[in-house]
Amino acid sequence: MRVRRAPDVVIRRLPLYLRVLENIDIDKHGPSISSYELGDAAGVTPDQVRKDLSLFGEFGKQGVGYEIDTLRQELRRVLNLDCVIRVAIIGAGSLGIALARYLQGRRRAESNYHLDMVAVFDKDPAKIGLEIDGVRVLPMELLKSKVRELGVRMAVVAVPAASAQEVVDACVDAGIDGILNFAPAKLAVPSHVRLHNSDLSLELMHLAYYLCGAPGENTRTARDSQAEG
Amino acid sequence: MRVRRAPDVVIRRLPLYLRVLENIDIDKHGPSISSYELGDAAGVTPDQVRKDLSLFGEFGKQGVGYEIDTLRQELRRVLNLDCVIRVAIIGAGSLGIALARYLQGRRRAESNYHLDMVAVFDKDPAKIGLEIDGVRVLPMELLKSKVRELGVRMAVVAVPAASAQEVVDACVDAGIDGILNFAPAKLAVPSHVRLHNSDLSLELMHLAYYLCGAPGENTRTARDSQAEG
DNA sequence: TAGATTGTTAATCGATTAACAATC
DNA sequence: TAGATTGTTAATCGATTAACAATC
């Protein structure tokens, strides 16, 4: 029932807010948090916090702030994280394994972590049957049936660039809604599927721009040094 | 000698352009590329390509386009990728190892890849001496001396959130300029150091927003479906 | 009540898109 | 020359910041 669509730049900040709220100990802190505190912890201005949140409802009280429990719950709801989202990882190479372990670790560390990594797929027969933190590696042939069976809604693609498009096609065919791609490739998906990309190599090239001066020296003036990312 | 500082949003697109140029076979394609072609391959409008590039110089020819070789070289120069940048990875857990392999793989796959992963560090004695794709894991105590010795300028931080700040402090102390952090933590660095963050968990929460409807169904209207980076 | 803090409107700032003269 | 395509200026669009009345 949202009237105006929220811009993506706002959506990207919501998980930041949510994380701050997840990490607050209410017993120590008290039940409320102001836009000043929340902004400070998340690295944005209080104005922005209020403007962002106001796009989704009126969650605060004048003179008091936002009730932490309530806001947390609202943000989870907005982000579709109010019930478990099952995630599959495609590719059991070192990156796929690392991502799988990372997600399992987050889930163990954070109660109420609503991303549940339930399966890893690979086409290499040598990888099938491996166990990664309690989850077995399955053959690609089972993707469609297992996605249905387990209720998987998101996929993390960690295969070589050359096979990324075919893997993504298979995910789409299996009915997956959202894909986070780690392969350094430009991929095509139908418009009802959301594709995001995370590319280490692009990130490093981006970062390289901000390195100062020639190797070994530090002569050039530092450019814009706001933290990114 | 840049007159106006280029906005970061532009800088983030340059690696995209550079990658397109790196992947073109000049023998097949011919020596020039238009802003239309380049934009198409990079996923941006031709107008934007021209505007972005014009911030750094006049690289094109009216009626012809941009000479691929020249533009590639210019982009490398702008991004500080015209000579090798040595990178260290901090943390030899599964993510650190995966990132190390990924970088080694890119370097093997792409001639002229100017990011050179030269060292991995860990504080766990059990990890010291391990070899990852030909690079040895060194103890954190050697960070400062090795950074000097090898000319390391960038660090990739892949340690648990709890130790990320101390690791970043050590990197800064060792004279490192640019840091790409994978730990889910908000870190502080002095203003002359550039810190970027890459956070799988935030990415997945961001993506979750765009999942349609309740688990199992697909009822809600798809929202903004432009592909994101 | 007085102080604090929200939600929202208005003002500013910046980025993208459109348009086109210059020119290869 | 005619068609293509650049670099740049102007117009539009969107996001951030500032300000403040409402109110807890």
| CATH number for B183 | 3.40.50.720
DSSP string, chain B: --SSPPPHHHHTTHHHHHHHHHT--HHHH-SEE-HHHHHHHHTS-HHHHHHHHHTT---EETTTEEEHHHHHHHHHHHTT-SS-EEEEEE--SHHHHHHHHHHHHHHHHSTT--EEEEEEEES-TTTTT-EETTEEEEEGGGHHHHHHHHTEEEEEE-S-HHHHHHHHHHHHHTT--EEEE-SSS-----TTSEEEE--HHHHHHHHHHT--SSTT---SPP-----B-
A interface test, pick of B14, B209, B219 with most A CB neighbours within 10 Å: B209
List, in sequence order, every residue forming a beta bridge with B77; answer none if it has no partner. none
Nucleotide nearest to A51 (CA to C1'): C7
Same structural domain for residues A136 and A46?
no
Residue B226 pLDDT > 60, yes or no? no
Mean pLDDT (whole number) for A195-201: 96
pLDDT-above-70 percentage for chain B: 91
Q: Are residues B157 and B59 in the same domain?
A: no
| Rounded CA–C1' distance between A209 and C3, in angstroms | 47
Q: Which residues pair with B137 in a beta bridge?
A: B120
Give the C-alpha separation, B211 to B208, whole Å.
5
Q: Quick: pLDDT tens for B149-172.
A: 999 999 999 999 999 999 999 999
pLDDT band at B111 (very low <50, low <70, confident <90, very high): confident
Same domain, A89 and A194: yes
pLDDT at B229: 59
My answer on whether B95 and B187 are in the same domain is yes
Least confident of A80-94, A181-195, B108-122, B210-224: B210-224
Find the CB nearest B196 among A87, A201, A207.
A207
Specify the 3-state DSSP secondary structure of A76.
helix
Q: Does residue A89 sit in the same domain as residue A195?
A: yes
Residue B228 pLDDT level (bands cut at 50, 70, 90): low
Q: Is the CB of residue B38 less than 8 Å from the CB of residue B16? A: no
> In terms of CA atoms, which chain A residue is nearest residue B220?
A1
Q: Which conformational region is residue B33 in: left (phi greater than 0), alpha (psi within -120 to 50 degrees), or beta?
A: beta
What confidence score (pLDDT) does residue A69 get? 97
Q: Are A215 and B151 in contact (CB under 8 A)?
A: yes
The answer to whether B56 CB sits below 7 Å from nucleic acid chain D is no
Share of chain B above pLDDT 90, in %: 86
Do B106 and B65 lie in one domain? The reply is no
Is residue B149, in this structure, part of any structural domain at all?
A: yes
Rounded to whole angstroms, the distance from the CA of residue A36 to the C1' of nucleotide D23 is 18
Q: Helices A161-173 and A143-150 sit at what angle, rounded to 10 degrees?
A: 50
Strand D closer than 7 Å to the CB of B203? no
The CB density around residue A129, as the number of other CB atoms within 10 Å, is: 10
Decide if A44 is inside a domain: yes
In CATH, what number is assigned to the domain containing residue A55? 1.10.10.10
What pLDDT score was predicted for residue B4? 53
Domain that holds residue A131: 85-200
Q: Which residue is nearest to nucleotide D3 (CA to C1')?
A: B63
Q: For residue B174, is pLDDT > 50? A: yes
Amino acid at B201: S
Do the Cβ atoms of B124 and B59 come closer than 8 Å?
Answer: no
pLDDT (average), residues B73-81: 97
Q: Is the pLDDT of residue A9 over 80?
A: yes
CA dihedral B57, B58, B64, B69 (to 10 degrees): -40
Same domain, A94 and A70: no
- pLDDT, one tens digit per residue, over A116-156 is 999 999 999 999 999 999 999 999 999 999 999 999 999 99
- Tell me the per-residue pLDDT of B30-72, one tens digit each, with 9 for 90 and over: 999 999 999 999 999 999 999 999 999 999 999 999 999 999 9
Measuring from the CA of residue A37 to each C1', which nucleotide is nearest?
C5
**A28 pLDDT above the threshold of 70:** yes
Torsion sign (Cα): B139, B145, B149, B154: positive
How many Cβ contacts (< 8 angstroms) between chains A and B? 226
Q: With a 7 Å cutoff on the CB, does A229 touch strand D?
A: no
The verdict on A129 and A43 lying in the same domain is no
- When the pLDDT of each residue in chain B is averaged and rounded to a whole number, the result is 91
Give yes or no for residue B180 having a pLDDT over 90: yes
Q: How far is the CA of A46 from the C1' of C11 (A)?
A: 18
Does residue A51 approach strand C to less than 7 Å at its CB?
Answer: yes
Q: Dig out the tokens for B175 from the structure.
A: 């004279």
Average pLDDT, chain A: 91
Distance in Å from D13's C1' to B102's CA comes to 39
pLDDT at A47 over 50: yes
One domain for residues A105 and A172: yes
Q: Indicate if the pLDDT at residue B225 is higher than 90.
A: no
User: pLDDT band at B215, cuts 50/70/90?
Assistant: low
What is residue A216's predicted lDDT score, i.e. its pLDDT?
Answer: 46
Q: Give me A196's structure tokens.
A: 């995001």
- A115 DSSP β-pair partners: A85
Indicate if the pLDDT at residue A225 is higher than 90: no
Shared domain for B163 and B185, answered yes or no, is: yes
Report how many domains make up chain A.
2
- Residue with token string 């339930």: A118
Kindly list the distances between the CA atom of residue A176 and the CA atoms of B74, B213, B218, in Å, as whole numbers in the listed order. Answer: 40, 13, 10
* B70 and B96, same domain (yes or no): no
pLDDT of res. B224: 42
Residue A153: its pLDDT value, please?
A: 97
Q: pTM higher than 0.75, yes or no?
A: yes
| Residue A113, pLDDT score | 84
Strand partners, B121: B90, B138
